[in-house]
Amino acid sequence: MARAYNFNAGPAALPEEVLLKAQKEFLDFEGSHMSVMELSHRSKEYSQVHDKANALLRELMEIPENYEILLLQGGASLQFSMVPLNLLDRNLGASYILTGSWSEKAVKEAKRIGPVEIAASTKASGYHAIPPLANIHWNKETSYVHLTSNNTIYGTQWQEYPQTGHIPLIADMSSDIMSKKIDVSRFGLIYAGAQKNLGPSGVTVVIIRKDLIKKDESLPTMLSYHTHASSGSLYNTPPTLAIYLLSLVLEWTKDKGGVSQIEKLNQQKAKLIYDAIDESNGFYTGHADRDSRSNMNITFTLPSSELTDKFLQEAADEGFIGLSGHRSVGGCRASIYNAVPHEHCLALAEFMKKFKNTNS
């Protein structure tokens, strides 16, 4: 069966090898005569899955021992609340950097908990760029500095992160986690919904420095990082199928050569499409400034809405899925997460060139 050219922004493409292995094990996991979905989360079989996911995350991201890995639910949207509930000191406030819609939503939730300052924003210019590091300013006693590492809607991505010293740097990495090597020790907390680079929707990875985990009896039990850290992310029934698929994606990443090799492949994939944009003599216009371009979400426009509609229809006829831009900005978007094959990006670049030559 031919696979679609899947450029959806999320839930997104999963590696075909992962899907085939999951299919093979679907009715009988490890000789249990049960599906992973049917296993008790307290069983020996499931414990091996849970432990493997944790171990591979720690290995592939080189997570130091003084960090806890939590496998939670609720997506990044719940983390917008959990982060300030657990870390925001109301006497100090927190600092947020605005680079798109998701950071705006994070700010909205944080303001429900305590005072928030905007350390930098590119909203006035239409979120075309990541702010220069020199333009980011936060209160020196702030509780933490929060950023969104990659912006799926606008197609921008941090190339270098601010140095925050003793102040914890918090990052929503939902759409570019494990797409490139990072120094985890630069961050106090990293969180990511799995449905872009790590697996299916349903599980959220939180990587938190252990000294930031505090027991606070005033917090609702399920909204406390301490609850989940002290129970190995097994306080309540975890999303077992999503964690199983997470473990398979991590296994696939390791087999591909790890994060450093994945990063090289992502750079090559992105270059194919950005070259099609840059060499089109203005037929395609990228949304993001060149020094802020994302290797995960490539956003661009065509000369008219009529041509955009024609492009999307002809692309769909050729098997390209998910190329419509977000409703808030329009245009087109190609999401080329880790699992999107190089050949699919090459096919899209060739289609873009052919469409331009026919319609310009």
Residues identified as active-site: 102, 172, 196
CA dihedral 192, 198, 199, 205 (to 10 degrees): -40
50 CB-side CA count, 13 A = 21
Token pair recorded at residue 311: 């492009």
The length of the chain in residues reads 360
**Could you tell me how far CA 257 lies from the centroid of its own chain?**
20
Q: Are strands 169-172 and 189-193 parallel, antiparallel or unpaired?
A: parallel
Collapse the DSSP code of 241 into the 3-class scheme (helix H, G, I; strand E, B; otherwise coil) and give the result: helix
CA–CA dist 19, 26 (Å, integer): 10
Token pair recorded at residue 290: 């060149």
Token pair recorded at residue 214: 């505090």
CA–CA dist 9, 337 (Å, integer): 8
Rg (Cα) of the chain, in Å, rounded?
21
Strand partners, 156: 151, 293
User: Is it true that the peptide bond before 11 is cis, omega within 30 degrees of 0?
Assistant: yes
Q: Where are the alpha helices (DSSP H) in 194-280?
A: 225-230, 240-255, 258-278
Q: Are strands 94-98 and 116-121 parallel, antiparallel or unpaired?
A: parallel
Beta-strand (E) ranges in the chain?
5-6, 67-72, 94-98, 116-121, 145-148, 150-151, 156-157, 169-172, 189-193, 204-209, 285-286, 297-301, 320-321, 332-335
56 CB-side CA count, 13 A = 26
Q: Say if CB 13 and CB 320 are below 8 A apart.
A: no
